[in-house]
């Protein structure tokens, strides 16, 4: 069966096609076709890049802001031209969408119906950047491939079993009644990493206590016991928790009260400060990209050093909190852009946990291979670097639902 995966961002659209048979392989397959649309570089222009498993590439610019028009052209490259891999779009059996917010009602991947679409639209108040573009992708596919089942794979779903003590905020009880609670995000990535970790360690995931560190532009941790997320750092929105590229992570809410009292700050401005001008970028004034922070430090930039110090301090504190929720640890896992590549961040994070017998193998940490154990042989806790594969996880969920 052929599974089309759509992963929509605020100004990008990634997509790929996997071919799966009756037996699901343990290790992710390479997609037959991958495509990306990017609206960030030029106003009103979508840049389309396509690559097939055989290495054929296509790049073109589309003069359109319309997501549906861009998706339609992207899908055309599946059955037309040099990147063609199928004869007809009807060869696609099922379409899986990453949907950021599923709220309390959608605790697992779900066949998309008019009711599910309404819920995704309703939940856009909680995820204003993502849910609307997820819905646009779903509607575009409905128009292009009207008879193909579509599945919503929610980023919040993996955290659906958090215990109340972890998901209820200690504000007034009405918050909970109004669905203001911790949801947690990056669930597709945390779930993939937990399963992949069990494979790499050759253990049953039911017996494992894991902390997954998803460190990309957005950063979050999950405490996973027996394959279930029991605690996580992101909350009601993806702003809570760790310091991130340009997001503050957790701050004293008293700061916001203070700022509101002292100035005529609007909610839009506050959103801009906390989501786009804080974190590594806000402190360093250099960039939200850890590579540029490390580069600036080598040139003696003190604010860049402070930014990295805060990032590490908060990462360690977060790992400590997850450790307490788990009551022990079998493996610490690093994933996403920073987690998979930054030897500096991994070494600094691990250094704090020598007291539980966690020991990194310095040489292995320097090697840039993924899906590896980089702990010292005599470490009491394994340390894994896993290349996260969210699209594969979405395809797996689709395969599972299709075959039920």
Stretch that binds ligand ADP, among 31-39, 151-159, 302-310, 333-341 (CB under 6 A): 333-341
The residues carrying an active-site annotation are 155
Span interacting with ligand ADP, options 31-39, 88-96, 139-147, 213-221, rule CB under 6 A:
213-221
| Other C-beta atoms lying within 10 Å of the C-beta of residue 167 | 20
Contact pick of 132, 149, 216, 227 for ligand ADP (by CB under 6 A)? 216
Tokens standing for 37? 């649309």
Residue where the block lists tokens 């909970």: 176
Q: Which is nearer to ligand ADP, 2 or 346 (CB)?
A: 346
**Closest residue by beta carbon to ligand ADP:** 337
Binding mask 155-194 for ligand ADP (x = CB under 6 A): ----------------------------------------
- Residue found under tokens 């052929």: 2
Selected from 46, 138, 194, 336, the binder of ligand ADP by CB under 6 A is: 336
- Of 246 and 325, the one with the shorter C-beta distance to ligand ADP is 246
- Which neighbouring-strand residues pair with 223? 211, 231
* 337 lines the binding site for ligand ADP (CB under 6 A): yes
- β 33-38/12-19 pair status: antiparallel
Bridge partners of 3? 18, 94
Task: List C-alpha distances in Å: 250 to 100, 126, 129, 278, 321.
Answer: 20, 17, 20, 11, 14
CB of 158 to ligand ADP, least distance (A): 16
Query: Which distant-in-sequence residues (6+ apart) come within 8 Å of 384 by Cβ?
Result: 197, 200, 201, 331, 332, 333, 334, 371, 372, 373, 374
Nearer to ligand ADP, 218 or 235 (CB): 218
Angle at 159 between CA 168 and CA 354, to 5 degrees: 95
Asked if 304 interacts with ligand ADP (CB under 6 A), we say no
Based on CB atoms, which residue is closest to ligand ADP, 342 or 379?
342
Q: What's the gap between Cα 114 and its chain centre? A: 26
**Nearest distance in Å: CB 279, ligand ADP:** 11
Task: Kindly identify the residues of this chain, within the stretch 241-300, that bind ligand ADP according to CB under 6 A.
Answer: 245, 289-291
Distance CA 32, CA 147 (A): 22
341 binds ligand ADP (CB under 6 A): yes
Report DSSP state, residue 373: E
Nearer CB in complex with ligand ADP: 28/216: 216
How many residues of this chain bind ligand ADP (CB under 6 A)? 12
Residues 213/244, Cβ–Cβ less than 8 Å: no
Is 133 near ligand ADP (CB under 6 A)?
no
Residue ranges binding ligand ADP (CB under 6 A): 216-218, 245, 289-291, 336-338, 341-342
């Amino acid at each position: 069966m052929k599974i089309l995966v759509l992963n929509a961002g605020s100004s990008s659209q990634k997509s790929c096609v996997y071919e799966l048979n009756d037996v699901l392989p343990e290790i992710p397959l390479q997609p037959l076709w991958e495509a990306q649309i990017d609206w960030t570089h030029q106003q009103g222009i979508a840049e389309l890049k396509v690559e097939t498993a055989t290495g054929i590439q296509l790049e073109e610019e589309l003069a359109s802001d319309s997501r549906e028009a861009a998706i339609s052209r992207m899908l055309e490259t599946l059955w037309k031209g040099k990147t063609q891999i199928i004869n007809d779009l009807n060869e696609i059996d099922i379409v899986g969408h990453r949907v950021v917010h599923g709220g309390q009602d959608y605790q697992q991947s779900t066949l998309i119906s008019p009711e599910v679409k309404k819920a995704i639209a309703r939940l856009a108040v909680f995820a204003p950047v993502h849910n609307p573009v997820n819905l646009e992708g779903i509607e575009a596919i409905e128009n292009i491939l009207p008879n193909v089942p579509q599945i919503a794979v929610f980023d919040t779903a993996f955290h659906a079993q958090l215990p109340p003590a972890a998901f209820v905020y200690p504000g007034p009880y009405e918050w909970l009644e109004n669905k203001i609670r911790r949801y947690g995000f990056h669930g597709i990535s945390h779930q993939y990493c937990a399963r992949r970790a069990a494979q790499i360690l050759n253990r049953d995931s039911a017996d494992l206590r894991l902390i997954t560190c998803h460190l990309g532009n957005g950063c979050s941790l999950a405490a996973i016991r027996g394959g279930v997320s029991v605690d996580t750092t992101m909350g009601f929105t993806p702003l809570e928790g760790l310091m991130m590229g340009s997001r503050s992570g957790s701050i004293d809410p008293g700061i916001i009260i203070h700022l509101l009292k002292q100035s005529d700050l609007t909610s839009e401005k506050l959103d801009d400060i906390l989501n786009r001008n804080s974190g590594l970028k806000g402190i360093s004034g250099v960039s939200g990209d850890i590579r540029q922070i490390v580069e600036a430090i080598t040139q003696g930039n003190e604010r860049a050093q402070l930014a990295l110090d805060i990032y590490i301090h908060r990462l360690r504190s977060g790992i400590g909190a997850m450790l307490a929720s788990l009551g022990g640890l079998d493996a610490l896992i690093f994933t996403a852009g920073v987690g998979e590549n930054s030897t500096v961040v991994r070494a600094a994070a691990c250094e704090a946990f020598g007291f539980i017998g966690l020991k990194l193998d310095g040489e292995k940490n320097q090697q840039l291979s993924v899906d590896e154990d980089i702990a010292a042989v005599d470490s009491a806790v394994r340390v894994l670097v896993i290349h996260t594969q969210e699209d594969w996880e979405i395809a797996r969920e689709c395969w599972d639902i299709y075959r039920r």
